């Protein structure tokens, strides 16, 4: 499935990955919508970013997958992972459309980096103590990605 990815270049990233191979995809929620994600990741003072944000029928890319986004709260983990944010919050799960777009993006990334989705796709809460990804059913994303590969 061809996806139209819209570039919204964030200043918040580190060039390269320090020689570390990508072996994880970290699932996050925005705690808001895609516009909130854009505002945060395009602000140099926020000092945070992710590779992708998905919501409202769109995919925004903020950081090249060849570079390190600042998304997981653990720099070494950031170097080995791709971060995907989802339009959702503690009282609002992502839409089916957002989940399906995320699954398609994960399929593309798993093919590109030769990842096994059953071990590569992880929730943010597995990296650092956080409520993220909250209402995002990361296991559904992981399992559907595996089926589609």
| All domains in the chain, ordered by first residue | 5-148 (3.40.80.10)
What does the alpha-carbon distance between residue 58 and residue 37 come to, in Å, rounded to a whole number?
12
Residue 48 is predicted with a pLDDT of 98
pLDDT tens for 103-114 read: 999 999 999 999
67 and 22 Cβ atoms separated by less than 8 Å: no
Residue 136 is predicted with a pLDDT of 98
DSSP strand pairing (121-123 vs 24-27): parallel
Q: At residue 125, does pLDDT exceed 70?
A: yes
Q: At residue 5, does pLDDT exceed 80?
A: yes
* pLDDT averaged over every residue in the chain: 96
pLDDT tens for 42-97 read: 999 999 999 999 999 999 999 999 999 999 999 999 999 999 999 999 999 999 99
- Helices 96-113, 138-148: crossing angle, 10 deg rounding: 50
Is residue 133 reached through a cis peptide bond, with omega within 30 degrees of 0 on the bond before it?
yes
Residue 3 is predicted with a pLDDT of 76
- How far from 91 is each of 6, 19, 67, 120, 137, CA to CA, in Å? 27, 39, 32, 27, 13
DSSP strand pairing (81-86 vs 13-14): unpaired
Phi, psi (degrees; rounded to nearest 5) at 92 = -140, 115
Residue 6 is predicted with a pLDDT of 96
Residue 1 is predicted with a pLDDT of 52
Residue 2 is predicted with a pLDDT of 63
Q: At residue 124, does pLDDT exceed 70?
A: yes
Q: At residue 18, does pLDDT exceed 60?
A: yes
């Amino acid at each position: 499935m061809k996806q139209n990815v819209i570039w919204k270049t964030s200043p918040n990233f580190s060039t390269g990955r320090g020689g570390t191979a990508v072996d994880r995809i970290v699932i996050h929620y925005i705690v808001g919508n895609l516009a909130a994600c854009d505002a945060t990741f395009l602000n140099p003072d926020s000092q945070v970013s992710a590779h992708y944000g998905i919501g409202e029928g769109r995919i925004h890319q903020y950081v090249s997958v060849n570079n390190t986004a600042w998304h997981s709260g653990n720099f070494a983990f950031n170097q080995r992972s791709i971060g995907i944010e989802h339009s959702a919050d503690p009282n609002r799960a992502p839409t089916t459309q957002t989940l399906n777009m995320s699954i398609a993006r994960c399929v593309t990334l798993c093919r590109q980096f030769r990842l096994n989705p059953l071990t590569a796709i992880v929730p943010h809460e597995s990296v650092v103590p956080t409520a993220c990804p909250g209402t995002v059913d990361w296991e559904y994303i992981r399992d559907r990605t595996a089926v589609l590969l």
